[in-house]
Structure 1
Amino acid sequence: MPTRALGATSLVIALSLALSSCGLIRDLDPEHTQEEPAAEEPTQEVSAEDVELPFVRQGRMFVEGGNDVAVEISVKALENNGEYLMLDISRNILEYITGEDVTYAGAPLRLVDPVSGEVLLPITSEEHGEPYGSYFIEGSELTPVHEEIPSPIRRYFPAPSEDVEFLTLTGATAGHVPGIPVSYVDEFTDLPEPDVHDYIDPETWLMDNELPEELVYPETPPEPGLDTTGSVQSMESFVDTTTASTTRAGDREVIALHADNMFAFDEAEPTDEAAGTIREAAQSLRENLVEGAEITIIGHTDGKGADDYNQTLSRERAEAVRELLEEELGTGFTLTTEGRGSDELLAQEGGNDDEQARARNRRVEFSYEVPMGQTGSEEGGSGLDAAKRHVGAPAPYYEELDPFTTVTHNDLDLNVYPMVRDGAYLFQVVGFQNSTLSDLEADLDGDEASLPGSPQQYTEGTMGGFRLEEPDSGIIRYVIRIRTAEGEYEDFADQILTLSPGEEYLALSVFPAPGPEVEEMTLYAGAFGEIPAVPVR
């Protein structure tokens, strides 16, 4: 490889990779050839000690201000020293990047415990705002670009709350990489050689020697005792039926009974049908909780009417439900009630789906905590279908999947891949492909993208309109939301940006898993419409 200058003539690229959280400084080379290294075959075994790395993924990287490029990510190691995780990966840019002031705009890097739903983010230094781990100039987001030369990168994460054998990697063009074995160590593995600074001067950005086949960047590991709560998030799921819905986030679960099925208009006296619904809810609570648990019963109204009236009605309905629930559960649980009127609307009222939105907001909730390690009810219970938790083993690593089908909307092809059951979740990979000869904006909006009266926070984002339906039961499963440490939400679905012609851009969306007997699901893919019988691996 010829010697390259990295000085004033270079293109400066502020490429904040979620993977490396590093900007890129261009190393100019008029010649470019692409050689795609072959992925190694991993061993898929139940024990983490027997699984061989690396795991390899290829995808296209969104690059604003320049050309999108193919990137290969190799997962080389994941070590746990009891306080932190060290992720050792390698990034190989397979195509030549052009453009100035280029910015990466893809999904952030995440490690996920697919059983508990805990989400871990790279730990960031308070001193300079960059993640702990690999750097070229410490505290700077800038790093050189090396096409077709793998650049090993380390990132540090909080250790998961529970000891786990496998974690799942998502984001940063890696897509869905399940079954990464966790190695428990006393000390993290030392960096190998050679150091990138043996070849590139960080003061002048000039290359002194021909680059080797693989580079190593220096790193700053986190010091012991850091507060990492801001790097720990939880997945929030939403499962819906005509009778009830269930929201889960971390160790908090909320079963919401649709009030219109239980009360007449403006009434607080339960209907005859309400007793059956309460009986099913009580069975779900027995299956989900240990005796002695605290359950808060919360009444809600829609936005119509005076605040005082709504507050009174919601409290009276909560009290009526408590009396019925106590008859079913007995005295083994602590039951408290609250009325919140119209203070916490789930669906936005006043739109074309106003009637359905108001019906969604009229509800009575059961709120309680479940230990993170508890896997839920046995199959075939007689409780509410929406309240059943389905937690399987972490998925093993897989190299690739073939598309199940392709659908088209406004010159945009959607390649739908089989869903992968991973712990308590389904990971759905789709491929967006521009069939025109010019750049194309992905337009996935439209009234058909969501059901009337859907909760607003589960229908936002590019792929927020995606949802799953079980063919036999009709249960609806929405895209997972991630709750940040600040209490804000983002959907666990990749954002789709401007698409270049011809190339496929893989994107990931995540849903709560159905029971193990479900082998296929109907995918409602926003503007692409209904896609039946998508297989579940």
Structure 2
Amino acid sequence: MNTRQSGNTGRALGAAATVAAAALALSSCGFVPDLSDLTAGGSTEPPEPSTGPSQEPESPEPTPEPVEADFPYTREGQIFQDTGQDSTLRFSITGLERTDEYTVLYTERTYVDHFRGLNSSLAMPDTLVDPVSGRAYRTLLDEDGDVYGSVSPDPDGYYPVEVDATNRYRRYFPRLPDDVTHVTFVGSGLGAMTGIPVVDVDEERPDPEDPNGADPDFDPDRGDVVEFGNRRPDAEAVERIGEMESFVDSDVASTTRDGDTETVALRSDVMFDFDSAELTAEAEDVVRRAARSLERNIDPDDPRITVIGHTDGRGTDDYNQRLSVERAETVRGILAEELGEGYDFVVEGRGATEPVAEEGGPDDEEARARNRRVEFSYRVDRSGGTGNRGGADEDALGSSERNVFPPADFVSDDTAEVVASVTEGDVRMDVHPLRRDGAYVISTVSLTNTGDEPVLPDMGGEDAVSPGGPTEFSQGALGGFQLLDPDSDLVRYVTLLNFGGDSYAGFAEEVHEMQPGNTYQLVAVFAAPPADVDRATLRAGSFGEIEDVPFAE
């Protein structure tokens, strides 16, 4: 009997995973709303238009040679449904085409086992990621927050589904920059599909001539190919272009990269003695190493550097303000000495007004130590292309190294090789090799419910966040995962997807209630370590630390 599933429209930006509307249980057939882009809070507000650095450069690089494409790119596996009726989905990308106006994604979805009633996929929203630049792109929306592309035959946004029938969908994204040749796709619920080629075309494919799925009374049979009417973007289309934000931590400093801005935070406890604005001898070396990283990363067309001092919440406002300014001035002096002329400095003190970790909790001392810091930020040069593909540079600050590799090739099954298995209660976690993808690394794990009852594993909690760690980099069920370099003190947190406003979430899958016997593929994404790091430790929340996880060859 035919049922109904969600497509991929939605009304607002998603967080790490989507939450569908309440399901209406039917015995043999029904509908599923097209709500897979809802936020975790169910917001229906449309996003703000994209502006600023997310736009294509004024002087793009010459158009590259056409890339080789071998469509379709297909994956198959279990996906979470909002009703718990988790199904096996065969998902194919059958085309990714760049026109003069926008980018068009063509997909096919086939459910190969049971599927009844109203179900909505709980996957991440459809997102195209350029792993080299760190830009991310989501579907174009109209002014009401509805996406363009395949049109649901039902006024509530439901699509007809039959087991072993194939539904064809079309979705529109902002036009990818000319220098983007391959992207990583997420949104199927089957992990990260890397190495999807972008094909340049003069015009997009014709709309379906006689779409059988446009009829609200259409009842597909097994083996049918179902097509829908198409709505192309118009002048009201709103672009959603975001940035991947990475956080790399160490004992002396941390580095946050958000789009084209990099912020280095030097820990004051390491840099200064108590109640002092004078750098220790060890700290002066750290600042000089930071200067070398800054010199290599900064945009030569915008040599502004903002240095800001921060304190914890102890002390009076006046005392904290004075000390924060004095420490910022000290760091500015060393940076200026090391860098020489040609840089513009701005120095500020913020006292205790901008903490990065919550004080007063069980990890109060660690939180206060993280809040005592001197930050300097600057715009980064993203025109250099490949970044550092060599080993770690001992003369630079490790947390600020940007290691950029080519986009990863497409792999139909990221779970074929298991390098470690850990069991927590009735849940087994299989760990798969790490994969480098541009400036990032993808950690893939599989979770299997080995018990006889549905289970919601505890992936977060206190075990998932380091003491005093920044809570915004621990969002989502796998948001508490971290990647540790084995031969350094560097800790890589899960990368965030930042689309502005409320759409700011960890680039990691959510874990929902797992059905007995089912296996689910999940990913977490981190900033890439240097090329000479061939193994890493995965800190996996309540599952503990898994050492010597290799990188795929």
What's the TM-score bracket when you normalise by the shorter of the two chains?
Answer: 0.7 to 0.9
Q: 1:403 to 1:20 in 2, by over 3 A?
A: farther
- Secondary structure, in 3 states, of the residue corresponding to 1:527? helix
Residue of structure 1 in register with 2:439 after alignment: 424
Tell me, in whole angstroms, the C-alpha distance in 2 between the residues paired with 1:240 and 1:167: 27
Between the aligned partners of 1:4 and 1:455, the Cα distance in structure 2 is: 44
Cα 1:285/1:487, change in 2 over 3 Å: farther
Distance 1:413 1:15 in 2: 32
- Asked whether the equivalents of residues 255 and 265 of structure 2 are also in contact (C-alpha less than 8 Å), the reply is yes
Partner Cα distance (1:147, 1:225) in 2: 36
- Distance (Å, rounded) in 2 between the aligned partners of 1:423 and 1:366: 26
Counterpart residue number, 2:549: 534
Equivalents in 2 of 1:210, 1:318: separation in Å? 69
Q: Distance in 1 between matches of 2:169 and 2:116?
A: 23
The aligned runs of 1:515-534 (5 Å cut-off) are 515-534=530-549
Which of 158, 164, 168 pairs up with 1:148? 164
Q: Which residue of 1 aligns with 2:246?
A: 237
| Match status 1:113 vs 2:130 | yes
Match 1:335 to one of 336, 345, 348: 345
* Counterpart amino acid of residue 121 in structure 2: Y
Which residue is equivalent to 2:407?
A: 394
Superposed, which structure 2 residues align to 1:127-276 within 5 Å?
127=144, 129-137=145-153, 140-192=156-208, 195-197=211-213, 201-202=215-216, 205-207=217-219, 213-224=224-235, 226-228=237-239, 231-276=240-285
Q: Structure 2 CA distance, aligned partners of 1:70 and 1:409?
A: 24
| Displacement of 1:488 | 5.0
Selected match of 1:477 from 484, 487, 492: 492
Q: Distance in 2 between matches of 1:436 and 1:4?
A: 29
Which sits farther off after the overlay, 8-17 or 60-69? 8-17
**CA–CA distance in 2 between the matches of 1:56 and 1:458?**
31
- CA distance in 1 between counterparts of 2:223 and 2:527 reads 45
Instruction: Call closer, same or farther: CA 1:3–1:159 in 2, change over 3 Å.
Output: closer
Residues 528 and 398 (structure 1), Cα distance of their counterparts in 2 relative to 1, 3 Å cut: same
Output one character per residue of 1:76-100: Cα deviation in whole Å (capped at 9) or x when no partner: 000111331100010111122234x
* Contact 2:34/2:159, CA 8 A, preserved across alignment: no
Give the whole-Å Cα distance in 1 for the aligned partners of 2:253 and 2:3.
64
2:314 match: 304
> Structure 1 residues 270 and 139 mapped into 2: Cα distance closer, same or farther (>3 Å)?
farther
- Give 1:51 shift: 2.7
Q: State the TM-score, normalized to the length of structure 1.
A: 0.88
Q: Which residue is 1:491 aligned to?
A: 506
Gaps of 5+ in 1: 22-45
RMSD after superposition: 2.5
How many angstroms does 1:162 deviate by? 5.0
**Cα distance change on mapping 1:143 and 1:293 into 2, 3 Å:** same
1:253 maps to amino acid: E
* 1:126 has 2:136 as partner: no
Given the superposition, is the C-alpha separation of residues 138 and 440 from structure 1 closer, same or farther in structure 2, using an over 3 Å criterion? closer
SS for the counterpart of 2:374 is: strand
Structure 1 residue 377: Cα displacement: 5.0
Q: Distance in 1 between matches of 2:84 and 2:254?
A: 44
Name the SS for the 2:327 alignment partner: helix
Any conservation in 2 of the 1:232–1:485 contact (CA below 8 Å)?
Answer: no
Change (3 A) 1:174 1:340: same
Deviation at 1:483, TM superposition (A): 1.2
Q: Distance in 1 between matches of 2:336 and 2:366?
A: 30
Residue pair 1:194, 1:215 contacting (<8 A) in 2 also: no
Q: Summarize the alignment of residues 26-105 of structure 1 with structure 2, pairs less than 5 Å apart.
A: 49-99=67-117, 101-105=118-122
Q: CA deviation at 1:505?
A: 0.8
Q: Secondary structure at the match of 2:430?
A: strand
Report the residue type matching 2:279 in the other structure.
Answer: P
Q: Give distance in 2, aligned partners of 1:369 and 1:421.
A: 25
Q: Are 1:287 and 1:377, in contact at CA under 8 Å, matched by a contact in 2?
A: no
The equivalent residue for 2:54 is none
Give the 3-state SS of the residue equivalent to 1:534 in structure 2: strand
Aligned to 2:50: none
Counterpart CA distance in 2 for 1:411 and 1:450 is: 23
Counterparts of 2:235 and 2:331, CA distance in 1:
49
Determine the structure 2 residue equivalent to 1:443. Answer: 458
Structure 2 CA distance, aligned partners of 1:15 and 1:440?
25
Distance 1:510 1:183, change over 3 A: same
Please give the TM-score of this superposition, normalised by the length of structure 2. Answer: 0.85
Secondary structure of 1:104 counterpart = coil
Alpha-carbon distance between aligned partners in 2 of 1:48 and 1:95, rounded to the nearest angstrom: 38
> How far 1:474 sits from its partner (Å)?
2.7
1:371-426 CA-to-partner distances (Å, cap 9, x unmatched) read: 33334457454110111100010011112232222101122110111111000001
Q: Contact conserved, 2:388 with 2:530, CA < 8 A, in 1?
A: no
> Aligned AA for 1:433?
T
Q: Which amino acid aligns with 2:543?
A: F
Computing the radius of gyration over CA atoms, which structure comes out larger, 1 or 2?
A: 1
Take 2:36 and 2:410, find their aligned partners in 1: how far apart are those partners?
22
> What is the identity, as a one-letter code, of the residue corresponding to 1:164?
V
Shift of the 413–175 alpha-carbon distance from structure 1 to 2, 3 Å rule, reads: same
1:502 pairs with 517, 523, 527, which one?
Answer: 517
Following superposition, the deviation at residue 212 of structure 1 comes to 5.8
Equivalent residue number for residue 25 of structure 1: none
Query: Equivalent residue of 1:317, what SS?
Result: helix
Write the distance in 1 (CA, Å) between the matches of 2:424 and 2:495. Answer: 24
Amino acid across the alignment from 2:411? Y
8 Å CA contact 2:84–2:513 kept in 1: the answer is no
Distance 1:251 1:397 in 2: 27
- Quote the residue 2:291 is aligned against: 282
2:281 aligned counterpart, secondary structure: coil
Distance 2:451 2:27 in 1: 35
Tell whether the 8 Å contact from 1:179 to 1:394 is kept in structure 2 after alignment. yes
Amino acid of the structure 2 residue aligned with 1:395: A
In the other structure, the counterpart of 2:469 is: 454
Q: Is the 8 A contact 1:13 1:103 kept in 2?
A: no
Aligned residues between the structures: 501
